[in-house]
Each structure stands twice: as C-alpha cells, then as structure tokens.
Structure 1
Amino acid sequence: MNTLYFFLLVVLSNGVLSENTPIVLWHGMGDSCCFSFSLGAFQKKLNESLGGVYIYSIQIGDNIIEDVENSFFKYPLDQLNETCETLSADPALVNGFNAIGFSQGGQFLRGLVQRCPTIKMKNLITLGAQHQGVYGLPRCGALPFEICNSLRKILSQFAYNRYVQDILVQATYWHDPINEETYKHESAYLGEINNERNINQDYIERLQSLENLVMVKFINDTMVQPVESEWFGFYKPGQALETETLQQSSLYTDDRLGLKKMDEESKLHFLEVEGDHLRFPWIWFEENIIEKFLK
C-alpha cells in the first residue's frame, strides 16, 4: 500500500495520470535537466503532444549548476552508476520506459542500458548522439581544413592521457581514426561501451533487449565531426577524410555490439532532419518520433 501511495504521489506531482509509457531524458554537454529554455520547454511540449506522460529528466548533482558542471567534468561511468540507482528506485519506471538522449546524453543512455541490469528501457531515441565518438572541434568546419586538421592532431596528443580522461567527459569519447589502437585501449568511456577491448556479452544482450534504437542525424550539424557518428558511422580507419557507414564498419561486420542482428530484426532506425545540432521542427518530431515510438 505504501508503494502504491508513493507511486500515485510521484505521478500526480508531475500533473500526469495517463497510460503513456514514462519517458526518461538525458541532456547534452553544457545543458541541464530543467532549464526553461531547453529541456524544460521540451518536457512541456512533450506533455502537450502526448496528452500527459510521466517524465524524468536526469540531473547529475544536487542542483542545475552542478548538473551543467558534471556534463563536462564527472567521469561518465560514475554518472551511469548514479543514474542506474536513481532510475531503478523510481516506482513510476518499474514497468519500463522510453528514453530520449540529447547529443552526448544519447550515448550515455545507450551506455546505461548496456550497464544497468535493473532497468527496463523499451525504445531509445538518440538526437545527434556521438555513438562512434568525435574527431574534431565543434564548428571547426567554418575554418580552413588545414587549421581544423592541425587542431585535432594536437588534441589527440593529450586526449588519451589518463588524467585528462578522468576529468574531462568529452575526452572519453574522442576517437582518433589515425590511431585506432590507442583509441581502443585508452578511451575510458567509448572504448568500453563499444566493446573495443573485450567482448562483454551482457552489453550485447542488454542492447538487443531494446524494442527500437532510433538514431536521428542532423544534416547540417556543425557540432559533431563526423556527423556520420550520429548513425554509428565514422571515418574509415587510418585516415580522417573518407567516412564509412555503420554497416561498412568492423563494429557491424564483427557484430561486437549485436547491432547487425538488431538491424536484421528491423530494430535500428536511421532518421535524418534538416537543421543544425539538436534543431528540428516540432511537427517533424511529432510525426517521426512521437507517433511512431512514444504512443
């Protein structure tokens, strides 16, 4: 009876009493769970479109300032452990939930489903997530190629330093295609959740437990290099000019994450939308995400 009371209290406190599957959100770099101009506004529109739904927006830290800081400086696997405990203890989520990840929040939610056996994630929607990492600075495309290329080579000299990996979140998904072995062994987050060093069968089975993995790529994205990472693609190994799709990559052909099987079962969905990073018309989101995966 106490559990039921607490469940109703949680749901009613969010102004929601509906049959819609609950939704978990994870914001991106430099954002917070609840800013009125970002995820706060997104939650409001989501509630309006669904006619009411329980939404839990992940906050790492005791307040929104800490949440923003932790998006840069808190070790990702520690963030996953904390979030695993929080979501597992939420009675409103016990029967399962859908999840939407914004930018790096997308690959964090994917890591969560792979590493947290006590949650039941149904559909995972990633918006501009860097599933194969990044090799380039945000908005560097506006500069001459030679300058951007020199900058990323310099960054690669420091990104895999153990101290840098421990204190800078974005370094943990820096992916240098020219030095693949260094990336595989020194990337503290992406190398781990992409099964680059060892094959963790639990990661494969838990990822395959998803009903759908929906990946949204922003055609005019200036933040993510290469943008193909948003669809699990990346640069071909050994160079940083020509890209390959997920299906052309060793991650797929060796099936290190079980993505090939998911693709064959039509669980992978590759969507694209005009616009820069995380910019999309709401009508597009309603038609392509809400109607197909959240209702």
Structure 2
Amino acid sequence: MQSSWLIQLAQDPKLKGGYNAMGFSQGAQFLRAVAQRCPSPPMKNLISIGGQHQGVYGLPRCPGESSHICDMIRKALNNGAYTDLMQKHLVQAQYWHDPLNDDLYKKHSRFLADINQERAVNETYKKNLQLLEKFIMVKFLQDTVVDPVDTEWFGFLKTGQAKETETLQDSVLYKEDRLGLAAMDKAGKLVFLASAGDHLQFTREWFNANLLPYLR
C-alpha cells in the first residue's frame, strides 16, 4: 500500500470519528492490512466476506486436494509466485500461500507473510488490530472459488502437506498470538459466521440479519 493513500485516509474528515469497513473476497485481507497499518482514523468493525486471511493454495473451481491435474497446476504455480516480478505486479501472488514450501513463502511473500506476522513480529500491527471492536469473518459453505475455504475463518492447510486443514485456534499464529487474535477471541471480538452457497452468494435477508447490525 502506498503511504500517500494512507495519508488521504487519515485526512478524510468524514472518517475522523471512526468507520466500519467491509471487504469482499481479497478486499477483506487488504482492509485488515489497513486496520493494522493505519489506526487513524479508527476502524471500528471489520467485516470480512469470503476473505482469504491465510492466503490460498488452489485455483477457482479446481480443488487441488481432490484433483490430480489441479494439484499439478498449483504446484507449478509455485515456481513463479514468489519471484519479485510476480510479487510486485500480480495481486493474487501476494496472497499465494504454499504449505509445502513454508520457508520460501515466509521469505518472499511481500504482503501476506508481513501482515500475518510470519517473520519478525511487528508489535504495532498487533496492537492496532486489537483496537477493532469486532472482527467478523464470513465463510461460504459451498465455496468453489477459494481453496482452502477454511482461510475465510483464518484457518489453513497444515504446514508440510496440502490436504489436511487446521482451524485458526490450532494454528501457530493463534497459539503464539502473533497477531493478537487469541486475545481478541477471548475478549469476544472475533465473530465467525457461515453462509450457505458459493463464493459471495448470500441473500438480502441473510445480510440484514447477520451483518447489518455491525454497520449501525
């Protein structure tokens, strides 16, 4: 993110009293980065709708864990995803997370590994995220676009393999509380919601019942 953009956000008079943020799909993790990097003006509630907070390791509608061809494709993508060229110019590469090459991911991921505190812990990021009143994460139960879908609730594939997933609460990020998520969970600040249907598919009624209260 450009510092000039963050300055514009901080100087917007309409936001000086704080604001609620709602991110759809990849926009959710980018808004979380705003919460971590730009605490002024204050973000009150962050609503993540189908966000990929631990990244992705798969292609839309091509599940690598159950398709040999799709698995070959996602492994092939690793050859280019962590090059400087891809990390600088391809948005999707910035949240590509290869569980089979964890050291490579942590070393070369310019965006996701940074905001997820997977290198050195930035205490400012951690403190700023905990300023949220609520961090709401929506997972789509029949999602065919995001792989693995557990990333929408901050879970992911276990390191060293590409089939079995773990929840946020079972992850190193949570156990070491590198982001402050464990503290937020204990304080009741994390909200996990599920919606039946595919990626970003929900009804007006579901939205009004489940998300609208956090925007008032």
Shared topology, TM-score over 0.5?
Answer: yes
C-alpha spacing 1:277/1:169, structure 2 compared with 1 (3 Å): same
* 1:294 to 2:198 alignment: no
Identical counterparts, % of pairs? 54
Question: Do structure 1's residue 273 and structure 2's residue 205 form an aligned pair?
Answer: no
* 8 Å Cα contact 1:84/1:119 also seen in 2: no
Superposed structure 1 runs of 4+ greater than 2 Å apart = 141-144
Structure 1 gaps of 5+ residues are 1-76
CA contact under 8 A between 1:113 and 1:207: conserved in structure 2? yes
Structure 1 residue 153: Cα displacement: 0.3
Structure 1: how far apart are the matches of 2:169 and 2:17?
Answer: 33
1:1-295 equivalent positions in 2, closer than 5 A? 77-78=1-2, 81-141=3-63, 145-291=67-213, 293-295=214-216
Does the Cα contact within 8 Å between 2:58 and 2:64 map onto a contact in 1?
no
How big is the shift at 1:117?
A: 3.2
- Deviation for aligned residue 1:139: 1.2
1:143–1:225 CA distance, 2 compared to 1 (3 A): closer
TM-score (norm 1): 0.71
Structure 2 gap segments, 5+ residues each: none
- CA separation of 1:256/1:90 partners in 2, compared to 1, >3 Å: closer, same or farther? same
| Cα 1:178/1:283, change in 2 over 3 Å | same
Q: Deviations over 1:187-235 (max 9, x none)?
A: 1100110011110000000000000000000111111000000000000
Structure-1 separation of matches of 2:100 and 2:192: 26
| AA partner of residue 166 (structure 1) | K
Give the partner amino acid of 1:258.
Answer: G
- Aligned-pair RMSD on alpha carbons? 1.4
User: CA shift at 1:260, angstroms?
Assistant: 0.3
Letter in 1 for 2:137: M
What CA distance in whole angstroms lies between the structure 2 residues aligned with 1:143 and 1:201?
Answer: 35
C-alpha distance in structure 2 between counterparts of 1:132 and 1:145, whole Å: 22
Answer 1 or 2: higher relative contact order, Cα 8 Å, separation at least 6.
Answer: 2
State the TM-score, normalizing by the size of structure 2.
0.97
Deviation at 1:143, TM superposition (A): 10
Q: Mark the structure with the bigger radius of gyration.
A: 1
Structure having the larger proportion of residues in helix: 1
